[in-house]
């Protein structure tokens, strides 16, 4: 396999994921903050051949046909707190579409294992930009005296991992709220932290003079100005099988005073399959400011046994290339429920 390895001296800048406990989670400063073993490399070339979902480069686990590579970082944390590890992964095996990479994520505090999860991913083609990357997550809880923990990514590909590696990017660890919400940054007060947003998505609202939304100062805009098909999504960890409830607030906006209507779909997917799809429409009622124009929505859906993570996506379907109206979201929350 032909790997694209970048010498450390060519990687510039320092990246600290906003509101994340992980330092340099996007590897823009090489392996600064990380511990590595042989087989860990940086892939991508800034500006000319970027590889990754956040910045210009990403980490390669198991490069050089070296088996058992381990990439790890110790981070600070609060005792007795729920956290979510998030990262993006890709199978790096050139154009050999038969290859599958395997790795294990382990989160430890001293001799205690807080979480452990195995992953596998099939190659879809030579990584370039964000092509082939898939968002992942692992949920864990710290002990009553835990103030530091370590996250480790270990190459476990059978057969020594010849000609196939794992690409990693945008690694973050963030505390979860105790209200049972499976999503992070539900009110977009930390911008896109935790979310995957197309270029046609934007944050609206100004602090403190012109808030837009039902909680805090900001909300997320999907579409408008010729962007039909824009997607806003977040992958979440599924603590259990059964019924879930998605709650969110929405408002429609347009650039004129004439009534306009925005349309969009909400899709829940897991393991490459669509679990639920619901269509929505909302008419513009005036200029957005504060909570004005927002309407509460809810959607119930079920996840079967064996699903460890799923994705909620908001997809703009407004006609005429979305020129007539866009839609804004706030307080997007997803919780397991015990009964219909």
In a domain, residue 275? The reply is yes
Residues 248 and 200 in one domain: yes
Residues 285 and 156 in one domain: no
CB neighbourhood size of 177 (10 A): 13
In a domain, residue 243? The reply is yes
Residues 303 and 269 in one domain: yes
Number of C-alpha atoms within 13 angstroms, CB side, residue 337? 14
Residues 133 and 162 in one domain: yes
Residues 145 and 82 in one domain: yes
Name 252's bridge partners.
327
Looking at the predicted structure, is the pLDDT value of residue 217 above 60? yes
In a domain, residue 191? The reply is no
Name the least confident of 28-32, 229-233, 245-249: 229-233
Residues 66 and 213 in one domain: no
Residues 171 and 221 in one domain: no
Residues 40 and 126 in one domain: yes
| Residue range 99-115, pLDDT digits in tens | 999 999 999 999 999 99
In a domain, residue 228? The reply is yes
Look at the chain and count its residues.
Answer: 340
In a domain, residue 182? The reply is no
**What integer pLDDT is reported at residue 180 of this predicted model?**
76
Q: How far apart (Å, rounded) are the C-alpha atoms in residues 170 and 196?
A: 11
| Residue range 239-268, pLDDT digits in tens | 678 899 999 999 998 755 445 788 999 999
Q: Which range, 3-7, 73-77, 325-329, has the best average confidence (pLDDT)?
A: 73-77
Name the least confident of 176-185, 284-293, 303-312: 176-185
Q: How far apart (Å, rounded) are the C-alpha atoms in residues 218 and 210?
A: 9
Residues 29 and 168 in one domain: yes
In a domain, residue 187? The reply is no
Taking a C-beta distance cutoff of 8 angstroms, is the pair 170, 207 a contact?
no
Section 132-140 average pLDDT: 89
Residues 171 and 43 in one domain: yes
Is the bond leading into 8 cis (omega within 30 degrees of zero)? no
Task: Give the residue numbers spanning the domain of 234.
Answer: 196-336
In a domain, residue 156? The reply is yes
Residues 109 and 229 in one domain: no
| Residue range 315-336, pLDDT digits in tens | 999 886 545 678 999 999 999 8
**What integer pLDDT is reported at residue 10 of this predicted model?**
27
Looking at the predicted structure, is the pLDDT value of residue 9 above 70? no
Residues 92 and 216 in one domain: no
CATH number, domain with residue 200: 2.60.120.260
Sequence-separated (6 or more) residues with CB below 8 Å from residue 216: 187, 188, 189, 330
In a domain, residue 152? The reply is yes
**What integer pLDDT is reported at residue 178 of this predicted model?**
60
Sequence-separated (6 or more) residues with CB below 8 Å from residue 37: 68, 69, 70, 71
- Domain count along the chain: 2
């Amino acid at each position: 396999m032909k790997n694209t390895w970048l010498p450390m001296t060519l990687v510039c800048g320092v990246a600290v994921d906003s509101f994340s406990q992980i330092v340099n989670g996007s590897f823009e400063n090489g392996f600064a903050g990380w511990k590595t073993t042989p087989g860990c490399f940086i892939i991508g070339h800034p500006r000319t051949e970027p590889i990754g979902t956040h910045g210009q480069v990403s980490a390669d686990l198991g490069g050089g046909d070296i088996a058992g590579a381990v990439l790890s970082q110790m981070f600070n944390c609060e005792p007795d707190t729920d956290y979510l590890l998030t990262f993006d992964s890709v199978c790096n095996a050139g154009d050999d579409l038969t290859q599958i990479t395997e790795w294990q994520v382990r989160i430890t505090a001293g001799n205690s294992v807080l979480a452990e999860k195995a992953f596998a991913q099939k190659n879809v083609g030579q990584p370039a930009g964000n092509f082939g990357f898939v968002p992942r997550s692992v949920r864990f809880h710290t002990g009553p005296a835990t103030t530091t923990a370590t996250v480790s990514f270990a190459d476990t590909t059978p057969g020594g991992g010849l000609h196939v590696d794992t690409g990693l990017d945008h690694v973050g660890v963030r505390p979860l709220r105790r209200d049972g919400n499976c999503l992070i940054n539900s009110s977009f007060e930390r911008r896109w932290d935790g979310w995957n947003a197309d270029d046609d998505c934007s944050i609206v609202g100004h602090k403190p003079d012109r808030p837009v939304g039902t909680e805090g100062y900001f909300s997320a805009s999907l579409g408008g100005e010729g962007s039909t098909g824009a997607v806003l999504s977040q992958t979440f960890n599924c603590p259990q099988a059964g019924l879930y409830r998605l709650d969110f607030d929405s408002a429609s906006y347009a650039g004129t005073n004439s009534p306009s209507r925005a349309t969009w779909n909400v899709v829940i997917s897991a393991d490459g399959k669509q679990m639920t799809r619901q269509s929505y429409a909302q008419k513009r009622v005036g200029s957005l400011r504060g909570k004005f124009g927002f309407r509460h929505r809810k959607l119930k859906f079920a996840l079967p046994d064996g699903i460890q993570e799923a994705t909620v996506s908001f997809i703009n379907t407004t006609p005429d290339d979305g020129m007539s109206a866009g839609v804004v979201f706030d307080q997007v929350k997803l919780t397991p429920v015990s009964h219909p």
